[in-house]
Amino acid sequence: MYLMNNLKWYLFPVLSLLIFNGCNQQKEKPMKAPVAKKTEKVFNEQGHERVDNYYWLNQRDNPEVIEYLKAENAYTEEMLKGTEKFQEKIYKEIISRIKQTDMSVPYTVNGYAYYTRYEEGKEYPVYCRKTLATDAPEEVMLDGNKMAEGHAFFQIGSWEVSPDNEMLVYSVDTVSRRKYTLHFKNLKTGEVYEESIPNTSGNVTWANDNKTIFYAIKDETLRPYKILRHCLGQNVKNNEVVYHETDPTYNTYVYKTKSEKYLVIGSESTLTSEYRVLDAAQPTGVFKLFQKRRHGIEYNISHQGNRWLVRTNYKAKNFRLMEAPENKTELDNWTEIIPNRDDVLFEYVSVFENYYVLAERKNGLIKFRVYDTKENSDHYITFDEDDYYAYTSNNPDYYSKSLRYGFTSLKTPESVYDYNMVTRASVLLKQQEVLGDYNSSDYITERRYAPARDGVEVPVSIIYRKGFKKDGSQPLMIYGYGSYGYSVESYFSSSRLSLLNRGFAIAIAHIRGGEELGRQWYEDGKLLKKKNTFFDFIDCARYLIENKYTSSNKLFGYGGSAGGLLIGAVINYEPQLFEGVIAAVPFVDVVTTMLDESIPLTTGEYDEWGNPNEKEYYEYMLSYSPYDNVEAKAYPNMLVTTGLHDSQVQYWEPAKWVAKLRDMKTDDSLLLLKTNMDFGHGGASGRFEAHKETALEYVFMLYLLGITQ
C-alpha cells in the first residue's frame, strides 16, 4: 500500500471504447487502470465448459491489442511517476559496478587464442582471436556494436570457425523470436558473403572439408525440426535435408565431437533422446543411427579414442556412465563404467584424449570427478564454500591436460580456473571485477532446509549483508523456478547489491521440479505432482518468516517464465503471504496453451506438464493454472513483465492474466503490466540496457517499502 499512498493519480489517455469499458474521457478526471473489453470465448473440453473473456488478446496484429498493451504501459509509467530518478539512480548504480572495458580469459583451439572483449560504454561483445605467436595482432571476427546499428534488438547466437581457420559462420537474430539467420565471413579477406540462410535455430557446425556446414531450421511453431547440409557457394534453395524430425514432441540439433572425428545429429524430447553419427571427413555420407529411441531413455554421447562414452538413465534414475565400441553403438553393446548412485546425480561428462571429468551433484552442489584413463585412477576437485556453483568452462582442446572451470557463489564473483589434471593444482586466471567498494567478507551466506508440509526438507540459499537483523523487521526477496529439472544455482550477481545494501536478504528456494537433489526431486515436481512445486515455495516463505528473516509485509516473491507460473499459482493459494510479487514473462495460461499445438513449445512439453487432451491431466492442470483460478479476493502488489515478440511464453498470457485480475480482485493494491514492445523472452539484448528492467523491478519493491533512495 505504500506506493498507492504516495502516488498521485494521473490522466488516462483517450483510447478506443471498443477496448476499454467505462473509460471516462474527461481530461481532468484522475487516471484509471485500463479495462480490457470482454469478448466471450467458450471452450468445451473433457466434458467441461471454460469461458475465456480475454482470448481476443492473442491477436498480435490487431491494432486494438497493441493499443491495450500501450495503455497498460502508460498506466505503469503513470503509477510509478515520481520514481524515474530513483530508477535512473539504481540503473547507474548497477552499471557502475560493471567493468566496462573488459576481456574474457582466452582459450586455445587449433593454433589460435579466442576471446571476447567489451568496450567502454558499448552494449555488445566483440569476438576476437590471435595466433599463438608472440605479439600477434588481434583479429576482430565480429563487432557486435557495429552489427547492431539500426536494430532495436540484436543478438549474435553462435559462431563457428572452419577447421582450416579461414571461414566463419555465425547466426544473428534482430527480432527477438530466436529465429536466426546464418552468415559467412572470410577471415582472411574480411569479406562477408552475400549468401545467407534464414529461419535457423542458430545451431551450426562445420564438416572437416572446410566448405560444408550442417544446421537446423525451425517450423511454424519455432521447433528445430530439420537438419540441412549447405556447401559454400551453393544456392541455399538447393540445400539438402539430411534429417527430418517428424515427431512434434522432439527438437533436433547438430554438433561435432570434441575429437573432431564425427558429426552428430541429436533429437530430444523431455524424456527421450536419439543420435545419429557420420564421419566428419565424409560430409556427403549418410548418418548412422547410434541407438534407436525408446520412450523414457535419455542418453548423451562423447567420442574418445576408439570408444563412445554414454551418459544414460537406462536402468539408472540418477544416470550412469557406460561405454560402447566405436562401431557397435547399439544398447546391447553398452558396458557400465560408473554405476547409478541414489545420492549423486551425474549431470554431464567432459572428455579429453586421456581424461574424462564427471560433474556430479550431491546435496545440491557440484563436484568434479577426474578420471585418468592411462593410470586408471580418479580423484575429486572439491570446493571450500558451503553453498556455491561450479561448472566446466571452455575446454575445446581434446588433447589438453588442463580442465578449465568456473566457480562462483552468492558472495564470490565469477572466477575462472585452470586445473592441471596431472599435478592436481588449480590456478586462478581471473575473477570478475566488481567496481566500487565491494568486499565479499561484508556478506553472509547460509544454506538452510525448510520443512515442507509432506515432511521433505527443501534447501534454501540465503545472502544478506552483515548487520542484517533476524527479528522480522527487514525485507527479503525469495526466488524460485522449479520446472524442467533445471537446478537454480547459487551464483554471484553484482546487481543484487543494490538490494542487499539497502537491507534486503535474498533467498533462493530450491523447490521440487528442479533437479538439485537428484532426478527424483524433479519427478516429484512435475506432471501430477506439480503442486509440490508451489507448496514447497510457500513453505520456504513461511519458514523464513517463522525464523524472523522477514515478515509478510516485507516479503517479495520473484519468478520468471515457468517461475512466473510458480508465482501465479502461489498467490492464488496464499495471496496474504507477500507484500508484493514480480512475475517476469510468466507462463500462466497453462490449459489454453497446452491445448494449442500451434504455439511454440506446446507438444514438446507434454512430458513436463501432461497432455490436457487426456482428462486426468486436463483436470489437474485446470486446478492450478493461475489464469483459470483467479478469484474475487485481495491480491498482493504485482509487477508483471512480458515481451511482444516472446517466443517462449506468448505475450498474451500475462496480458490476459492482468486483465482478469483487474476485473476480479477486490483490493486496491498495485497491479502493473509492462510489455516491452521491441524484445522477447530474454528481454533487452545489450549488456547495460537489460538492467533498466532490473532497476524497475528493484524500485517497485523498494518504493512499496517507502525506500526512495
| Chain center to CA of 437 | 30
Q: Which three cell numbers mark 253?
A: 540439433
Q: What is the pLDDT of residues 521-541, one digit of tens each?
A: 999 999 999 999 999 999 999
Quote the cell numbers at residue 431: 575473477
How much is the pLDDT for 604?
A: 73
pLDDT of residue 377: 96
Mind listing the pLDDT tens digit for each residue in 343-400? 999 999 999 999 999 999 999 999 999 999 999 999 999 898 999 999 999 999 999 9
Q: Of residues 645 and 436, which shows the higher confidence score? A: 436
Average pLDDT over residues 425-441: 96
Q: pTM for the complete prediction?
A: 0.88
| 279-322 pLDDT, tens digit each | 999 999 999 999 999 999 999 999 999 999 999 999 999 999 99
Q: What is the DSSP string of 236-292?
A: GGGPEEEEE---TT-EEEEEE-TTSSEEEEEEE-SS-EEEEEEETT-TTS-PEEEE-
Q: Do the beta carbons of residue 332 and residue 292 sit within 8 Å?
A: no
Residue-level pLDDT at 330: 97
CA 631 to chain centre: 30
Tens-place pLDDT, residues 97-121: 999 999 999 999 999 999 999 999 8
Looking at residue 601, its pLDDT comes to 60
Angle at 504 between CA 500 and CA 506, to 5 degrees: 85
pLDDT at 18: 31
Sign of CA dihedral 198, 202, 207, 210: positive
Mean pLDDT of the residues in the chain: 92
Task: Give pLDDT, residue 597.
Answer: 78
In this prediction, residue 368 carries a pLDDT of 98
**For residue 602, how many C-alpha atoms fall within 13 Å in the half-sphere facing its CB?**
18
Helix, strand or coil, per DSSP, at residue 184: strand
* Tens-place pLDDT, residues 34-75: 999 999 999 999 999 999 999 999 998 899 999 999 999 999
pLDDT at position 476 over 90: yes
Which class would CATH give 443-688+697-704? alpha beta
pLDDT band at 340 (very low <50, low <70, confident <90, very high): very high
Residue range 218-228, pLDDT digits in tens: 998 889 999 99
Going by pLDDT thresholds of 50, 70 and 90, the confidence category of residue 680 is low
3-state secondary structure 84-109: HHHHHHHHHHHHHCECCCEECCCEEE
Cα angle 29, 35, 36 (rounded to 5 degrees) comes to 150
Catalytic machinery residues: 561, 646, 681
User: Helix or strand or coil: residue 256?
Assistant: strand
Q: What is the pLDDT of residue 529?
A: 98
- The pLDDT of residue 573: 98
What's the CA gap between 463 and 467, in Å, rounded? 12
List the single range of 240-244, 411-415, 470-474, 643-647 with lowest mean pLDDT: 643-647
Predicted pLDDT of residue 681: 53
Nearest to 347 by CA among 329, 325, 365: 365
Residue with cell 516463505: 541
Give 2-33 pLDDT, tens digit per residue.
233 332 222 222 233 233 333 333 344 568 99
Dist. CA 619–CA 645, nearest whole Å: 30
Distance CA 450, CA 100 (A): 40
Contact 115, 139 (CB under 8 A): no
Helix (H/G/I), strand (E/B), else coil: 529 = helix
Checking if the pLDDT of 562 tops 50, the result is: yes
For residue 685, the model assigns a pLDDT of 52
What residue spans define the domains of the chain?
A: 443-688+697-704
* Order of strands across the sheet that contains 155-161: 155-161, 167-173, 180-186, 192-206, 212-218, 224-231, 240-244
User: Which residue type sits at 472?
Assistant: G
Q: How many residues does the chain have?
A: 709
Torsion sign over Cα 547, 549, 554, 557:
negative
Residue 162 to residues 151, 185, 206: CA-CA distances in angstroms? 28, 11, 6
CA 679, CA 176: separation in Å to the nearest integer? 6
Of all residues in the chain, what percent carry a pLDDT higher than 90? 86
